[in-house]
Amino acid sequence: MAENHYIDTRGCAERPVTFTEAVVDGLAAGGGLYVPERIPELSLEDIAALAQLPYAQRAARIYRVFDVDLPAETIEELMAQAYGDNFDDERICPITSLTADTHVLELWHGPTSAFKDMALQCLPRFFSASAAQLREQGKLDHDFLILVATSGDTGKAALEGFRDVDGVSIGVMYPDGGVSDIQFKQMATQRGRNVQVWGVRGNFDDCQTGAKNVFGDEEFAEQLLEEHGVALSSANSINWGRLMPQIVYYVSAYAQLVADGKLGLGDELDVCVPTGNFGNILAAYYAKRMGVPLGMLYCASNENRVLTDFINTGTYDISERPFVLTPSPSMDILVSSNLERQLFELTGRDAEAIAGWMSDLREQRHFRVDENTFARVRELFASDSIDNATCLRTIKRVFDEHGYLLDPHTAVAYQTAENLRGENPVLIASTAHWAKFGDNVYRALHGIEPGAALPDDVAALSGCELNDLIARETGANDVPRGLAELDALPIRFGEVIEGDADSIEAAAARFMEKLDATASARND
């Protein structure tokens, strides 16, 4: 079986672990993140050959070259389940070319209409298979509670992915008032016997920090295991099993552009990614490490420009940085968890340096990397931030010029690509369907300022009704069924909690008690 093991970014893990252990653990001991000991390399011919396969088989092949410690036939079967008729396009993530050298990778054709589906239709299946294999090996004798902090899209995608999965329950936290109406309803109406959703007073960073503190509470972990027979794990992009499926779509996209005659094999392709937590652009970095001829990686930020400032200065500073609500709420993040993995790679895997910087960030709210690491950052990345007004103007301009409707996150990436691009063609990661953010798309199309009130008759519409109006006005009649039906579904979850660890732990304990009571009643 597998020879490729996983080490942690802070050097605290007692030993390297297998892929299955890394996926089930989620977070390494000591708070570090798992990365593979070896990044496999693909030849140009290997990459080009992927285009002859359906997407699920492309994904399976890339997992196999990582030496994932599951049988090859299991990997093939899980990928076929993950990337099948649950997506509304058989190509899974089709590419729309707006010009000869501007290509949009549509990552939102899955069941929740956001790029998170690309990973979260995959991770739950591999999590379940990994847990089953570890049980057979005698390494595991408990169930799991997946605890997720979301800025909007991860929550619904994780809920949908883990819904009714045996041996797993899932609780999701989102910033109360910090997600769109559509995003809220997607989570609050979630079906499933093993799911729970909480609003959190505060912003996404409060949710994420609270979740990390819960994961670090050994006493609570012992309580969950003793009283409920469950251990905590994560479906956020701190879990390598979330990140790895994202590597696949960058490798796949390059192969597809070559097969379509839009790129010569070996030609460089720049990539522009709207990102707050850094996982999506980190996946492009790993694809580049594997041998995909990617050029510059453009990091697109909104007004929460902590990543742009870091890439441009080498200092990561949130000590006095205001948190800004923007039209692209899934990027409203100040603490970018996956930057830790990127810095680990760029320091030559210096766990001591990473542990020190992460300690500085936790205690002083800032850190500065050394000159050599900063030079490596500048070789690989360029970054720009797009203000709210420019974001909305970009949506209108692209629609007027190309008849193509962007969501606000993709608009941030599109404008960043325009600002930074050189001679290479650019692949823009499109991370959500426009209908998830209809209020701001309407503002964009009608020249209404960011945050300004919508006309009374428009403001009175639900998110679904507003999307219908936009579709009629633009001819963009592609609103996915999962979004169009939300008004007809009952709201199941409305509880709002504080974002501190004690409040989250109390809410999680209540959820576990409810599940235990339901299971007991079912068995009587």
Find tokens 């200065």 and name the residue: 313
Beta bridge partners of 171: 147, 196
**Please, which residues bridge with residue 144 across strands?**
168, 231
Output the CA–CA distances (angstroms, integers) from residue 42 to 115, 253, 341, in the order listed: 25, 15, 21
Q: Is 436 a catalytic residue?
A: no
Q: What is residue 321's DSSP assignment?
A: P
- Output the CA torsion 190→195→201→203 (10° steps): -80
Q: What is the pLDDT of residue 216?
A: 86
Q: What does the DSSP 8-state code read for residue 107?
A: -
Residue 152, sorted as left (phi over 0), alpha (psi -120 to 50) or beta, turns out to be left
Residue 97: burial class (beta carbons within 10 Å; 0-12, 13-18, 19+): middle
pLDDT in the model for residue 521: 79
**What is the Cα–Cα distance from 500 to 503, expressed in whole angstroms?**
6
How far is Cα 273 from Cα 254, in angstroms, rounded to an integer?
A: 15
CATH number belonging to domain 95-112+241-340+368-483: 3.40.50.1100
pTM equals: 0.94
Supply 162's token pair. Answer: 């883990």
Report residue 6: phi and psi, to 5°: -125, 130
Taking alpha carbons only, the member of 389, 431, 352, 379 closest to residue 11 is: 352
Q: What pLDDT does 1 receive?
A: 46
Phi/psi of residue 92, nearest 5 degrees: 70, -60
CA gyration radius for the chain? 22
Q: Where are the alpha helices (DSSP H) in 121-232?
A: 123-136, 153-162, 181-188, 204-215, 218-228
Q: How far apart are CA 273 and CA 105, in angstroms?
A: 10
Set 116, 288, 396, 436: catalytic member: 116
Calculated CA dihedral for residues 154, 159, 162, 165, nearest 10 degrees? 170
- pLDDT tens across the length of the chain (524 residues): 447 999 999 999 989 999 999 999 988 988 899 999 999 999 999 999 999 999 999 999 999 999 999 999 999 999 999 999 999 999 999 999 999 999 999 999 999 999 999 999 999 999 999 999 999 999 999 999 999 999 888 899 999 999 999 899 999 999 999 888 899 999 999 999 999 999 999 998 899 899 989 988 999 999 999 999 999 998 888 899 999 999 999 999 999 999 999 999 999 999 999 998 899 999 999 999 999 999 999 999 999 999 999 999 999 999 999 999 999 988 988 989 999 999 999 999 999 999 999 999 999 999 999 999 999 999 999 999 999 999 999 999 999 999 999 999 999 999 999 999 999 999 999 999 999 999 999 999 999 999 999 999 999 999 999 999 999 999 999 999 999 999 999 999 999 999 999 999 999 999 999 999 988 777 76
pLDDT of res. 462: 92
Separation in Å, CA 166 to CA 70, 111, 144, 192: 19, 20, 10, 11
Which amino acid, one-letter code, is at 416?
Answer: T
Alpha carbons 252 and 259: distance in angstroms, whole number: 10
Cα–Cα–Cα angle for 476, 255, 107, nearest 5°? 35
**Residue ranges per structural domain of the chain:** 95-112+241-340+368-483
